[in-house]
Amino acid sequence: MRIGPYQLASNTVVAPMAGVSDRPFRELCRSFGAGLAVSEMVAANPALWATRKSRQRMDHDGEPGPISVQIVGTEPARLADAARASVDLGAQIVDINMGCPAKKVCRVAAGSALLCDEPLVGRILDAVVGAVGVPVTLKIRTGWDPAHRNGTRIARIAEQAGIAAIAVHGRTRACGFAGAAEYDTIRAVRQAVAIPVIANGDVDSPEKAARVLAYTGADGIMVGRAAWGRPWLFAEIVHHLSTGGREPALTVEARRAVVLAHLERLHDFYGAGQGVRIARKHMAWYARGMAGSDAFREGVNRADSPTRQRQLVTAFFSTSTRPEEQLAA
| pLDDT tens sequence across 246-295 | 988 888 889 999 999 999 999 999 999 999 999 999 999 999 989 999 99
Say what the pLDDT of residue 106 is. Answer: 43
| Whether residue 256 is found in the same domain as residue 166 | no
Catalytic one of 29, 100, 106, 175: 100
| Whether residue 115 is found in the same domain as residue 219 | yes
| Whether residue 288 is found in the same domain as residue 232 | no
62 has pLDDT over 50: yes
What is the mean predicted confidence (pLDDT) over 166-178? 87
Of residues 201 and 100, more confidence is placed in: 201
Of residues 3 and 149, more confidence is placed in: 3
What is the mean predicted confidence (pLDDT) over 60-74? 91
Where among 192, 218, 243 does a domain terminate?
A: 243
Tell me the residue range of the domain where 318 lies: 252-328
Say what the pLDDT of residue 325 is. Answer: 46
Say what the pLDDT of residue 322 is. Answer: 53
| pLDDT tens sequence across 305-314 | 999 999 999 9
What is the mean predicted confidence (pLDDT) over 125-136? 98
| Whether residue 258 is found in the same domain as residue 167 | no
| Whether residue 262 is found in the same domain as residue 300 | yes
| pLDDT tens sequence across 9-51 | 999 999 999 899 999 999 999 999 999 999 988 877 766 666 7
Q: Domain with 214 in it: what CATH number?
A: 3.20.20.70
| Whether residue 151 is found in the same domain as residue 203 | yes
What is the mean predicted confidence (pLDDT) over 57-79? 89
169 has pLDDT over 80: yes
What is the mean predicted confidence (pLDDT) over 124-137? 98
Average pLDDT for the chain: 90
327 Cβ neighbours under 8 A, 6+ residues apart? none
Q: Are 49 and 73 in contact (CB under 8 A)?
A: no
159 has pLDDT over 60: yes
Domains identified in the chain, total number = 2
78 has pLDDT over 80: yes
Say what the pLDDT of residue 112 is. Answer: 59
| Whether residue 237 is found in the same domain as residue 276 | no
| pLDDT tens sequence across 210-228 | 999 999 999 999 999 999 9
Pick from 51-55, 106-110, 309-313 the range whose average pLDDT is largest. Answer: 309-313
> 197-200 and 42-43: which strand pairing?
unpaired
Say what the pLDDT of residue 275 is. Answer: 96
| Whether residue 24 is found in the same domain as residue 173 | yes
| Whether residue 84 is found in the same domain as residue 112 | yes
Where among 213, 243, 273 does a domain terminate?
A: 243
Say what the pLDDT of residue 329 is. Answer: 36
| Whether residue 23 is found in the same domain as residue 68 | yes
Let me know if 106 is a catalytic residue. Answer: no
Of residues 301 and 148, more confidence is placed in: 301
Say what the pLDDT of residue 110 is. Answer: 53
What is the mean predicted confidence (pLDDT) over 225-241? 97
241 has pLDDT over 70: yes
Where among 243, 263, 279 does a domain terminate?
A: 243
| Whether residue 9 is found in the same domain as residue 55 | yes
pLDDT confidence tier of residue 52, bands split at 50, 70 and 90? confident
pLDDT confidence tier of residue 122, bands split at 50, 70 and 90? very high
Say what the pLDDT of residue 21 is. Answer: 94
| Whether residue 56 is found in the same domain as residue 166 | yes
